[in-house]
Structure formats: structure tokens, C-alpha cells
Amino acid sequence: MKIATWNVNSILARLPTAMKVFEEVNADVWCLQEIKCEDPRFPRFELEAMGFNIETFGQKSYNGVAILSKHRIEEFVRGVPGLEHEQSRYIEAVIAAPDGPVRVASIYAPNGNPIGTEKFSFKLQFMEALQAHARELLKNEERFVLCGDYNVIPREVDCWDPSVWTGDALFQPETRAAYRALENLGLTDAFIAVDGAAHRYTFWDYQAGAWQKDHGIRIDHFLLSPQAADLLTGVQIFKKARGLEKASDHVPVIANFG
């Protein structure tokens, strides 16, 4: 079982590139963020032709999340339960995998900048609601995967230069504490569990030659329930995707389960 998460930064603008990546990675499930289109405009025809079942939670021009699955989708939820807002940032589905069901969520957490505004407050509110939902999911003792663009730099070694990020919402103590609170529930950061190497990035800005200089950050994460973590066999950051034509500024992260 292979599950991938990817902030595609507009599925319509990057569809040919995205389809090449989907084919090469060959994941069973894709959790997409920033699809940036309303549900009727999502390219279902092209992706269903690749063998995917699809659920989306879109929004015009901004945000938007989706789940693509080569296995049947048995149920789905749009939005973090208990959090009322108008942004499309969370979709959750139960995948009928061959070895048993697995619950998967695609998450696009708020950026939160600038600090000291309602945007930062909403970022923390979103993370708090996600924590409450994860606590409820854990009670079911099932396999689940909460993955996506968390907009959190968990450690200093997850960015190219911490001094550059000290004033950014992604690196604030409150932000990092909110991410640790999820881990402290008993969830496992998949990358840390199987690799944990310093300076392994998932995002490079389009500005200032960040990609060419390898000035990146790690903000795309997998958090796993104990039942899912027990089956984790590997994590890959598909860095190649950043160098493709019309690339997203994020790259896919892929988790393999035995």
C-alpha cells in the first residue's frame, strides 16, 4: 500500500505534469492540496481514466483538497469536524484497501501569516480542531493517516536557515507546539520514524532561486495512528517533481505500508 501527499498548487494549471508524476510514483492513494478549483472543474475525466476513484472539496481559485484512490472509497467527510469556516482545507475518506480499510485525510492547514492577525489565530484554531478530531479517531483503534501540507516547520533542521524563518508563522513556537501536540496524542511523524535526516525538504519557493540553492523547508507531513505506524516500511520525498516543467513549489511525499 502506497499513499502519497502533494500540494499541487493548482491541478488545472499543472495537469500534464501532475499526470506524469501520478504515473511514475504509482501510488494507491493520492492526497492533494491547493487544487484551486471548484468541484465541477476538477479534471475527473482525465484522472478517472488513470484508474482513480475521486472525492474533492474544492473552492474557487484558492485552497481545495482531494483524495484519489485506486481502491473503492467507502465514505468521506468534508471539513474538520467541529470547525465551522468557509475554506476547503480538509477531506477524509475510508479506503477499501485489499488488506483492510484505512482512513486517510488530506489536509491543507492555514499558512497563518502575518503573525498577530486573525490569520494566525485561525491557524492555531485549525490545529486545535484537528487535534480534537484525531483524539476521537484514536478511540476507534483503526488504521488512519493524516497527511498533507501542515504549514509547520517542526524542527530547526527542517529548514535551510532558521534565522530566515523566525518571524514566519510556520516556525513560531505556538505552531510547532500545536504539531507536537498531535504527536503527543500517540501519532507518528512517518518521516521522522524511518529517516529523520536533517535538511530534507518538501517545499522550495519560486522566488530568489530557492530551488537552485536548495533553500527549502519540510512542511508536508504524514501523521499516523499506531495501527498505521506498525505497518510503515518507508518514506520517500519525490524531489524530482520540483525540477519538472510547470512544477509545483511542493513535491510529493510518499509513505509505504507493508
pLDDT (tens digit per residue) in 28-51: 999 999 999 999 999 999 999 999
pLDDT at residue 203, rounded to an integer? 98
Residue 243 pLDDT level (bands cut at 50, 70, 90): very high
Buried b (16+ CB within 10 A) or exposed e, 138-166: beeeebbbbbbbbbbbbeeebbbeeeebe
pLDDT averaged over every residue in the chain: 97
pLDDT at residue 57, rounded to an integer? 98
Q: Do the Cβ atoms of 201 and 154 come closer than 8 Å? A: no
pLDDT at residue 125, rounded to an integer? 98
pLDDT (tens digit per residue) in 161-175: 999 999 999 999 999
- HSE-CB of 128 using CA atoms within 13 angstroms: 9
pLDDT (tens digit per residue) in 101-153: 999 999 999 999 999 999 999 999 999 999 999 999 999 999 999 999 999 99
* Residue count (the chain): 258
pTM (predicted TM-score)? 0.98
Distance separating alpha carbons of residues 27 and 254, to the nearest angstrom: 8
CB within 8 Å of 133: residues ≥ 6 apart: 80, 81, 82
Distance separating alpha carbons of residues 128 and 192, to the nearest angstrom: 22
In the numeric block, which cell numbers belong to residue 138?
484514536
For the chain, the C-alpha Rg in angstroms (whole number) is 17
Q: Measured at the alpha carbon of residue 78, what is the angle toward residues 73 and 83, in degrees to the nearest 5?
A: 145
Percentage of residues of the chain with pLDDT beyond 90: 99
List, in sequence order, every residue forming a beta bridge with 30; answer none if it has no partner. 4, 68
Question: What is the residue type of 178?
Answer: A
pLDDT at residue 215, rounded to an integer? 98
pLDDT at residue 6, rounded to an integer? 99
Distance separating alpha carbons of residues 17 and 11, to the nearest angstrom: 9
Distance separating alpha carbons of residues 168 and 114, to the nearest angstrom: 7
DSSP letters of 74-103? EEEEES-TT---S---EEEEEEEETTEEEE
